[in-house]
């Protein structure tokens, strides 16, 4: 059985080995410069005045006292930055500072730059804003019930931001083939990234008209475009440097209002301007997990084969668009990537509410539907009297196949992953066989290794790498990737070192500087290792060609016979004959002149050809399976997760110890979502966040974190560099449903809502004791008129990936 | 005021209301000490005062004259990393690296008191330090590894920590 490649990664010298990270020493000695660690001469400090009301028109802003406040150098209002922006071209709905209206508590209204933070804070307090209050919308149902007042003047209608409807195949036929049909409703509460680093940025505007912004962003490229647009500067005069990011998890993907504000203030004052958000402000920046209400109708046969699935989601977007349209797609598009689903229909509705805007958090839009699907699989198994693992294994998606919704699946190691966690957890002897209060639960998932489409439409590379080599022997790698702790800088060094036969620490990695490094789209969608890694392979192979040609001439052997290893270039047929790597570079520099190469990567074309088919395709999908073991106290409802066994099919690890770290971190974050994390508001009290602090927003400490047993399945993926797939997001997804399924095994109640808090468990236990259904979760599902779906026949039905052209509807009398 | 930081005396002038976190970062240029909340909730800003972990965001600097303050910048001895730092690097226990200084110093204080701590003792000692990247697993393993090496054992990371279970 293929599996963990361990230390024997098939002849590779660097890839597959547990090297230290190239930035490990810096990070362990406090030398890494995060954005807030930058102090520039004459630097001013910025503070934002934020809305104290959830929904209001701005009647008047009086900043006259702030301007006169001691130490103040500039005051900025919304009218000074009147250009709308947003990360997605379809959602240009944000102002850097509110212009005429605020849409949430925390919306920035004005900004001050002053000599120090205290002076800026004092000045901000002196700004008076008169609001004309509007009714606020605090939930999905309220958004549907109250089309007026609209939070935004765009979108579908009322407070419905976006509706999407897809039908893959003949649903009627699909449900008719089923022996059973069941419909389940569940809710996944929103939660937030909670990076330890508070967002920060520093702007400098030089007198030659050029702007430099250091920012804690994950996506310098999109921020670069936004700054140029909103500030009215040529993009070539804007330089964004993404500082090492002190935790991102998706929360630093959007271009933020404070990035724009400090840039503008630097332009106004001619001095550097810094902002570092308070923790409370970070909560209001959010862009995290959308609360999603889901109803899934699934038709299945006696053996569990799914003939049809109609999956519906209502997505609480908060106050702005952000990534939300993509997030909404993600609440449905990846459902068919794990088990065969004959026909698939997906309806998604995103609404605006007067809460902090939601967006991409680790797993972007997919943990919620994966929870719905994996809990339902457990229920289907129960209904059929089948083992839930057997049910899943019997109906796995085939490798090298195309799903009902036109996603191309390459390698899939899910079956092996399931076997691993079953074996590890002692499933056969323990599932449904443990004493009351103890349980095991299984869940699986798949995730993209990079989004197949850029956020704005273009046909250019998604990632570029430049290499510089010179007679010193140093190889410098330039790439726009952003190090957010996942090890992307190290990954570039490992890959280039592997190709050139040198040590990764012989390499200087220069990243995330839009002036200096080639474009990489950013650290999101688990795209970096595959996309930048492939670009790095190409650049390094081209450099290797130069060196090989020059060395071949010197050694008088064909270039194809040269090996690169251990800092040498040598004749593969007589390895003693060779030159050092430095000599090889000297020879090449002599022969070709100054050496430099480039590499770039573009994902393969997706098989779907219908509108909206750009969301979901990926060069490769990672897979994983998890078993959670829980203790549930039937008296208190307290859930303790003892251990999670996780098997992850991430292809060949570029560095296994870093992959382990990603898997463990994903399990941790999934555990927090499963048990305790929730981004909730006081709907009846001004829609303020219930607890915008790290003490009260519960996240797992060392005392709540469970034991973890990780298995890495390292079958190589042809589309990945050296066979790698993603690791940083996928392993989060099965954790919440595995915990929910384990709770059912332990105490026989279904908690169809995340987080699974003691209150909910206890309620379900009590209703069960009364002879009612032992369940906690939503009972009703809102109605919303949907547009006619985009209808695409499935590959099995002989479709060609295109939507069916509709005949105009003729009304029948 | 004279502060004793990382074994050296330094004359520092600052506003009297400033916290130790602010003085270290803003007045002494020791930005290795990070902050995550400035409210004493996350443990990110931990430094050692007389060998004990203290949240620098809650410590008033004027009260610390004559006390021995250790920051992450003072952890390595010359060019040699502290065994905890090496173990963290070996195991990738610093992902984004932002909570790392506070955790390293808290772990150092633990190892001074309990040279070979049990897993539970490590968990208790680090219960006040949030980390959002690692799930704490690699941190525990690194503390254990460092403790073994400090006891003179030629310890290496366990195979399961690095490659996963077979």
Digit-coded pLDDT (tens) for A272-315: 999 999 999 999 999 999 999 999 999 999 999 999 999 999 99
Q: Above 70 in pLDDT, residue A4? A: no
Q: Do B39 and A695 touch (CB under 8 A)?
A: yes
CA-CA distance, A180 to A384, in Å (whole number)? 9
Measure CB to CB from residue A702 to each of B35, B36, B123 and give the nearest one.
B123
Sign of CA dihedral B119, B121, B127, B130: negative
Q: Is B19 on the interface with A (CB under 8 A)?
A: no
**pLDDT(A684) > 80:** no
Sorted by sequence, the CB contacts under 8 Å of residue A164 that are 6+ apart come out as A328, A329, A332, A346, A347, A348, A349, A612
Residues of A in contact with B41 (CB under 8 A): 279, 693-695
A267 in Cβ contact with A233 (< 8 Å): no
Tokens found for residue B89: 């690097």
CB contact under 8 A, A246 and B81: no
For strand A790-792 and strand A408-409, is the pairing parallel, antiparallel, or unpaired?
A: unpaired
What are the tokens at A309? 């699935």
pLDDT digits (tens, 9 = 90+) for B133-148: 999 999 999 999 999 9
Cβ of B132 within 8 Å of Cβ of A247? The answer is: yes
Q: What residues of B are in contact with residue A715 (Cβ under 8 Å)?
A: none
Contact (CB<8Å) A664/B137: yes
The closest alpha carbon to A281, from A676, A672, A693, A695, belongs to A693
pLDDT surpasses 60 at A1: no
pLDDT at B6: 98
Q: Is A248 exposed, middle or buried (0-12, 13-18, 19+ CB in 10 A)?
A: buried
For B136, which residue in chain A has the nearest alpha carbon? A702
pTM assigned to the model: 0.97
Identify the band that residue A2 occupies on the pLDDT scale cut at 50, 70 and 90.
Answer: very low
Q: Which one of A119, A660, A673 makes the best mutation probe of the B interface by having the most chain B beta carbons within 10 Å?
A: A660
Q: How many CB pairs under 8 A join A and B?
A: 208
Tokens of A805: 């052209």
Average pLDDT over residues B80-86: 98
Q: What is the DSSP letter of B74?
A: G
> For A711-755, what is each residue's pLDDT tens digit?
999 999 999 999 999 999 999 999 999 999 999 999 999 999 999
Q: Say if B47 is an interface residue toward chain A (CB within 8 Å).
A: no
Please judge whether B98 and A693 are an interchain contact, meaning their C-beta atoms are less than 8 angstroms apart.
no
Residue that has been written with the tokens 């120090």 in this structure: A116
**CB-nearest partner of B98 from A18, A39, A196:** A196
Q: What is the pLDDT of residues A529-544, one digit of tens each?
A: 999 999 999 999 999 9
Tell me how far apart the alpha carbons of residues A635 and A612 are, in angstroms, rounded to a whole number. Answer: 49
**Going along chain B, which residue ranges are E strands?**
2-5, 8-11, 46-49, 52-55, 68-70
| Residue recorded with tokens 């060998």 | B51
Confirm or reject contact between B154 and chain A (CB < 8 A): no
pLDDT of A683 reads 79
**Mutate which of A192, A246, A523, A645 to disrupt the B interface (most B C-beta within 10 Å)?**
A246
Query: pLDDT band at A808, cuts 50/70/90?
Result: low
pLDDT single digits (tens) A398-452 = 999 999 999 999 999 999 999 999 999 999 999 999 999 999 999 999 999 999 9
Mean pLDDT to the nearest integer, A497-525: 98
Mean pLDDT of A466-476: 97
What gap in Å lies between CA A612 and CA A88, rounded to an integer?
Answer: 14
A197 CB neighbours in chain B (<8 A) are 34, 36, 96, 98
For residue B125, the distance in angstroms to the closest alpha carbon of chain A comes to: 9
Instruction: Say whether residue B32 is in contact with chain A using an 8 A CB cutoff.
Output: yes
Q: What mean pLDDT is reported for chain A?
A: 97
Q: Which residues contact A400 (CB under 8 A, 6 or more apart)?
A: A409, A410
- Is the N-terminal amide bond of A755 cis, ω within 30° of 0? yes
Is pLDDT of A805 > 90? no
Rounded CA-CA distance A352/A315 in Å is 9
Residues paired with residue A49 on neighbouring β-strands, in sequence order: A110
**Tens-digit pLDDT profile for residues A135-151:** 999 999 999 999 999 99
Element (H, E) at B75: none
Answer whether B76 touches A (CB < 8 Å).
yes
Position A807 scores a pLDDT of 67
Distances (CA, A) of A255 to A267, A322, A323, A327: 18, 9, 11, 16
Handedness of CA A223, A29, B73, B105 (dihedral sign): positive
From chain A, the residues in CB contact with B25 under 8 A are 37
Q: What is the mean pLDDT of residues B114-128?
A: 98
Helix crossing, B100-113 with B83-91: angle to 10°? 130
Q: What is the largest CA-CA distance in chain A?
A: 90
Q: Are B132 and A196 inside 8 Å of each other by CB?
A: yes
Each residue's pLDDT tens digit, A183-219: 999 999 999 999 999 999 999 999 999 999 999 999 9
Q: How far is CA A199 from CA A148, A196, A252, A286, B24, in A?
A: 34, 9, 8, 11, 20
Average pLDDT over residues A322-332: 98
Residues of A in contact with B72 (CB under 8 A): 29-30
Chain A contact probe: residue of B95, B125, B139, B142 with most A CBs at under 10 A: B95
Q: What pLDDT is attached to residue A809?
A: 60
- Which residue of A7, A25, A196 is in closest CB contact with B163? A7
Contact B44/A711, CB-based, under 8 Å? no
Nearest CA in chain A to B18: A118
User: What is the 8-class DSSP label of residue B26?
Assistant: I
Q: Is the pLDDT of residue A392 over 50?
A: yes
């Amino acid at each position: 059985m293929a599996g963990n490649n361990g230390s024997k990664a098939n002849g590779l010298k660097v890839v597959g080995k547990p090297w230290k990270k190239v930035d490990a020493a810096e990070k362990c000695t406090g030398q890494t410069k995060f954005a807030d660690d930058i102090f520039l001469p004459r630097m001013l400090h910025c503070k934002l005045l934020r809305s104290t009301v959830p929904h209001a028109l701005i009647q008047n802003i009086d900043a006259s006292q702030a301007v006169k406040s001691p130490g103040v150098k500039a005051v900025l209002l919304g009218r000074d930055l009147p250009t709308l922006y947003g990360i997605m071209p379809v959602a240009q709905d944000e102002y850097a500072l509110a212009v005429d209206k605020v849409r949430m508590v925390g919306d920035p209204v004005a900004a001050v730059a002053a000599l120090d933070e205290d002076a800026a804070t004092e000045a901000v307090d002196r700004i008076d804003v008169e609001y004309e209050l509007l009714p606020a919308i605090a939930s999905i149902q309220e958004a549907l019930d109250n089309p007026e007042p609209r939070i935004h003047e765009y979108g579908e209608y009322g407070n419905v931001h976006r509706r999407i409807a897809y039908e893959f195949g003949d649903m009627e036929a699909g449900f008719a083939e089923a022996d059973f049909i069941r419909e389940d409703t569940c809710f996944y509460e929103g939660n937030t990234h909670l990076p330890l680093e508070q967002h920060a940025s520093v702007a400098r505007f030089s007198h030659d008209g050029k702007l430099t912004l250091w920012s804690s962003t994950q996506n310098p490229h999109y921020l670069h475009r936004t700054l140029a647009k909103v500030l009215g500067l040529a993009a070539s005069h804007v330089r964004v440097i993404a500082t090492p990011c002190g935790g991102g998890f998706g929360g630093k993907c959007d271009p933020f209002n404070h990035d724009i504000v400090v840039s503008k203030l630097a332009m106004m004052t001619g001095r550097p301007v810094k902002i570092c958000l308070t923790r409370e402000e970070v909560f209001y920046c959010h862009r995290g997990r959308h609360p999603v209400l889901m109803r899934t109708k699934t038709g299945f046969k006696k053996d569990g084969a799914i003939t049809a699935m109609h999956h519906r989601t209502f997505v609480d977007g908060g106050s702005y668009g952000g990534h939300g349209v993509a997030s909404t797609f993600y609440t449905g598009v990846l459902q068919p990537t794990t088990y065969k689903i004959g026909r698939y229909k997906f309806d998604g509705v995103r609404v605006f509410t007067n809460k902090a805007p939601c967006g991409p958090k680790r797993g972007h839009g997919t943990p919620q539907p994966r929870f719905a699907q994996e809990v339902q699989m457990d229920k289907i198994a129960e209904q059929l009297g089948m083992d839930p693992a057997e049910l899943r294994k019997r109906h796995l998606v085939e490798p090298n196949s195309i799903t009902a919704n036109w996603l191309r699946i390459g390698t899939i190691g899910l079956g092996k992953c399931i076997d691993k966690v079953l074996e590890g957890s002692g499933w056969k002897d323990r599932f449904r066989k443990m004493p009351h209060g103890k349980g095991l639960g299984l869940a699986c998932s798949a995730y993209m290794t990079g989004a197949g489409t850029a956020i704005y439409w273009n046909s250019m590379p998604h990632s570029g790498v430049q290499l510089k080599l010179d007679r010193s022997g140093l190889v410098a790698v330039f790439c726009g990737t952003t190090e957010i702790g996942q090890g992307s800088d190290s990954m570039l060094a490992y890959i280039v070192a592997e190709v050139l036969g040198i040590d990764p620490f012989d390499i200087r990695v220069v990243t995330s500087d839009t002036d200096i490094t080639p474009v990489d789209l950013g650290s999101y969608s688990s795209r970096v290792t595959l996309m930048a890694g492939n670009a790095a392979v190409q650049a390094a192979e081209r450099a290797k060609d130069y060196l090989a040609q020059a060395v071949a001439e010197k050694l008088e052997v064909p270039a194809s016979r040269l090996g690169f290893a251990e800092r040498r270039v040598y004749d593969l047929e007589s390895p003693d004959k060779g030159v050092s790597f430095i000599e090889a570079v000297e020879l090449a520099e002599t022969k070709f002149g100054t050496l430099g190469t480039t590499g770039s990567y573009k994902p393969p074309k997706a098989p779907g050809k219908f509108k909206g088919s750009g969301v979901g395709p990926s060069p490769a999908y990672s897979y994983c399976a998890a078993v959670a073991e829980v203790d549930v106290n039937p008296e208190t409802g307290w859930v303790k997760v003892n251990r999670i066994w996780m098997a992850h099919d991430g292809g060949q690890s570029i560095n296994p110890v870093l992959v382990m770290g990603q898997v463990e971190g994903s399990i941790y974050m999934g555990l927090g979502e499963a048990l305790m994390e929730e981004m909730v508001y006081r709907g009846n009290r001004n829609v303020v966040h219930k607890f915008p602090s790290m003490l009260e927003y519960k996240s797992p400490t060392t005392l709540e974190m469970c034991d973890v047993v990780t298995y890495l399945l390292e079958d190589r993926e042809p589309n990945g560099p050296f066979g790698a797939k993603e690791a940083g997001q996928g392993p989060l997804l099965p954790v919440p449903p595995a915990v929910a399924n384990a709770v059912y095994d332990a105490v026989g109640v279904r908690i169809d809502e995340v987080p699974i808090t003691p209150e909910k468990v206890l309620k379900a236990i009590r209703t069960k004791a009364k002879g009612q259904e032992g369940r906690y979760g939503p009972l009703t599902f809102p109605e919303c008129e949907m547009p006619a779906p985009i209808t695409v026949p499935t590959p099995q039905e002989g479709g060609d990936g295109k939507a069916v052209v509709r005949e105009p509807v003729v009304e029948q009398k | 005021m004279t502060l004793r930081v990382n074994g050296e005396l330094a004359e520092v002038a600052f506003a009297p209301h400033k916290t130790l976190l602010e003085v270290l970062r803003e007045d002494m240029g020791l930005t290795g000490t990070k902050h995550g909340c400035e409210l004493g909730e996350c443990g990110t800003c931990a430094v050692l005062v007389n060998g004990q972990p203290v949240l620098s965001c809650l410590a008033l600097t004027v009260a610390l004259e004559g006390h021995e303050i250790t920051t992450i910048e003072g952890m390595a001895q010359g060019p040699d990393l502290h065994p905890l730092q090496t173990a963290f690097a070996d195991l990738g226990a610093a992902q984004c690296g932002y909570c790392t200084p506070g955790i390293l110093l808290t772990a150092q204080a633990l190892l001074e008191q309990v040279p070979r701590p049990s897993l539970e003792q490590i968990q208790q000692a680090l219960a006040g330090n949030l980390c959002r990247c690692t799930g704490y697993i690699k941190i525990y393993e690194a503390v254990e590894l460092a403790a073994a090496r400090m006891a003179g054992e030629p310890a290496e990371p366990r195979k399961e920590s690095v490659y996963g279970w077979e």
